[in-house]
Structure 1
Amino acid sequence: MHSATSRSLPAARLNRLALALPGLVLCGAVATLAVGLEAAEIDVAGKAWLEALVLAILLGTVLRAIWQPGSRWQPGIAFTAKIPLEIAVMLLGASLSAETLRAAGPTLLAGIAVTVALAIVCGVLIGRVLGLSRRMAILIASGNAICGNSAIAAVAPVIDADGEDVAAAIAFTAVLGILVVLGLPVLGWRLGLGPVGFGGLAGLTVYAVPQVIAAAAPFGATAIQAATLVKLVRVLMLGPVCLVLSLLVARKPAAAGTPLRPIAFGQMVPWFILGFLGLMALRSLDLVPAVLLGPIHALTTALTILSMAALGLMADLRSLARSGWRVIATAILSLAVLGLLSMLTLALVGLG
């Protein structure tokens, strides 16, 4: 009996792989098209206004709007929306190290941590007041407070968010990210900020690292250096935030009448968060060879784009339209709160 069961396990895995293959290939095609469109943007305009990650989820959403994937495609789409994304979150840890913390100094580090925490709390409260679901409110708040799309993608599996919520959060965050890059330098000039002060503001409010650099560029090289440092410290908050959220989700009360069961450590802290922290520790100890950093970054980006294509294919535009104005209002108000908290933090640490 044991031998027969052992022989059946590889067959079962092959069967699951065969079921997932059509949807996986479909997601790969959408992701490849997104990468091609990003390259075309760079060739034509000199920069990518919409990154491949955003394009993948938009393309997937458009395709879902004009064509409903049948049961043949669903297993692969569901697999691609989950597993590659969790692996990508884990690999993010290899890009961060404790050296970033030491370079920032304790005062600035504490200020950034408090700013991120308060921004998430305020963002969630704003979303709930406006009628968003708890998961959607957390996604938008985390995206605004930490690093936009990457934070949304990292937090989504931790709180078990569905594809529609992720698609909506990323779509509106992407638009806001572009507007912030264009409008923040104008605000900096109006406020009379110097290079260091504006660099700190850009690092605390702009989403992706390339966008931070683009926003800080009008204020010169010093602004870019300050913005990059602050941004990297802000990104370091992603691991602790995911860890706290995973603990909060694990402690969520069970439904009435449901017997309480012991919660395993692996259920409280997802494997990919442990992997994130482990890789960050290895990077801090210089145990991750420098030659691997480029390939790891490329793999992380590719896996995230692939998952975003799957999430787009899972999104229903009709559901997005029903919650659209609430998402927009929450994102804008949360971003405004983040801006105010950021300026207060910079003033308190002497960078304003």
Structure 2
Amino acid sequence: MRERMPGLAVAASAAVVAWLVHLALPGLPLLTAAVALGIVVGQVPAVQRQLDGRLAPGLRTASRSLLRAGIVLLGLKLSLVDIANLGWVTIVTTVAVVVLTFVGTIGLGRALGLPGHQPLLVASGFAICGASAIGAMGSTVRARAEDQAVPVALVTLCGTLAIAVLPALWHPLGLSNVEFGHWVGAGVHDVGQVVATAQLGGPAALAVAVVVKLTRVLLLAPMVAVTAAVERRRHVAADGPRPPIVPLFIAGFLALVLVASFVPLPAPVLEAADLVQTALLAMALFALGASIRFADLAATGWRALVVGLTSWALVATLAYGAVLLG
């Protein structure tokens, strides 16, 4: 534990800085600020030596264990009752947006020759819930830090751009406030980015956006479980160590979804859990961002950028179609 403390302390300090940035710039989601701060810090040569040296054990713990704990607590934000109230058409179209974006992005990533697990991780980030999904899927398939770096950078870039681009298209596309919220919830990657974008449409738009977005977040569990099953079969064929059928943190996430749906929890408990969850994810996403080295991404950068921008356009287009159907 002693060797992990310096890295964990830096991650915690970075989370506080990200919170202060968010307070100064409310339109910038806290978790996006945390990832961006990590990316910036990771490019400074003098700091890189510390990140890759004595801070590395703590940052690895933050990007893995703390990320999983944060995802488990995220389950308390989801209510199956709220999701059911969306109606079956909205639920089905939201699932379709996630699955089609996921499959399409993986196919494009493989066609363009992205290395390692990058196609899967880019697909997870853009289809489900941003950098959190990348970390969850990366943990499940035991992806290298280098494989996670590109998807995290891409989903942060495109999610931040969405905060400006989607509102600019809102009225030209002829969407009402509620339809705009639906579009944002179905098409923007991170929960914080969804809130920052949808709040421009007022309380009704924000409420719809959050519930639609959390429906996508709920799909993280089956997507990770299916991926884990595929990985398990592949490792069996290769006679290697097998990952669990359902990762423990995903089981915990589902358990807290059920608690949030059927157990009336006091508001102070939910507020405390939300604070802890945000802090854990901010530390984890800073650590993921700090692992990114732009100099090391040059070889595959243009291909990854094409995949990321195409996936962003795909999810936004499919989400717009879902709004029209709804």
Name the TM-score, length of structure 1 as normaliser.
Answer: 0.82
Where 1:132 maps in the other structure, the secondary structure is coil
Q: What is the alpha-carbon distance in structure 2 between the residues aligned to residue 292 and residue 336 of structure 1? A: 38
Q: What is residue 244 of structure 2 aligned with on the other side?
A: 267
Q: What is the alpha-carbon distance in structure 1 between the residues aligned to residue 29 and residue 282 of structure 2? A: 16
- Relative to structure 1, the CA distance from residue 347 to residue 136 in structure 2 (aligned partners, 3 Å threshold; closer, same or farther) is same
Q: What is residue 58 of structure 2 aligned with on the other side?
A: 76
The correspondence of residues 1-352 of structure 1 with structure 2, limited to 5 A, is: 17-39=1-23, 41-42=24-25, 46-48=26-28, 51-63=32-44, 66-69=47-50, 71-253=53-235, 258-259=238-239, 267-286=244-263, 288-348=265-325, 351=326
Q: What is the alpha-carbon distance in structure 2 between the residues aligned to residue 130 and residue 159 of structure 1? A: 21
- Relative to structure 1, the CA distance from residue 139 to residue 259 in structure 2 (aligned partners, 3 Å threshold; closer, same or farther) is closer
Name the TM-score, length of structure 2 as normaliser.
Answer: 0.88
- Relative to structure 1, the CA distance from residue 260 to residue 71 in structure 2 (aligned partners, 3 Å threshold; closer, same or farther) is closer
Q: CA deviation at 1:77?
A: 2.8
Is 2:115–2:147's contact at 8 Å kept on the other side of the alignment?
no
Where 1:326 maps in the other structure, the secondary structure is helix
Q: CA deviation at 1:119?
A: 0.9
- Relative to structure 1, the CA distance from residue 86 to residue 186 in structure 2 (aligned partners, 3 Å threshold; closer, same or farther) is same
Where 2:4 maps in the other structure, the secondary structure is helix
Is 1:57–1:312's contact at 8 Å kept on the other side of the alignment?
yes
Q: What is the alpha-carbon distance in structure 2 between the residues aligned to residue 49 and residue 300 of structure 1? A: 14
- Relative to structure 1, the CA distance from residue 64 to residue 341 in structure 2 (aligned partners, 3 Å threshold; closer, same or farther) is same
- Relative to structure 1, the CA distance from residue 23 to residue 219 in structure 2 (aligned partners, 3 Å threshold; closer, same or farther) is closer
**Cα RMSD for the two superposed structures:** 2.6
Q: What is the alpha-carbon distance in structure 2 between the residues aligned to residue 230 and residue 117 of structure 1? A: 15
Bigger CA radius of gyration: 1
Q: What is the alpha-carbon distance in structure 2 between the residues aligned to residue 49 and residue 282 of structure 1? A: 27
Q: What is the alpha-carbon distance in structure 2 between the residues aligned to residue 67 and residue 60 of structure 1? A: 8
Q: CA deviation at 1:253?
A: 4.4
Where 1:251 maps in the other structure, the secondary structure is helix
- Relative to structure 1, the CA distance from residue 291 to residue 324 in structure 2 (aligned partners, 3 Å threshold; closer, same or farther) is same
Q: CA deviation at 1:49?
A: 6.3
Where does structure 2 lack aligned partners over 5 or more consecutive residues? none
- Relative to structure 1, the CA distance from residue 297 to residue 187 in structure 2 (aligned partners, 3 Å threshold; closer, same or farther) is same
Where does structure 1 lack aligned partners over 5 or more consecutive residues? 1-16
Q: CA deviation at 1:201?
A: 1.4
Where 1:299 maps in the other structure, the secondary structure is helix
Which letter maps to 1:232?
L
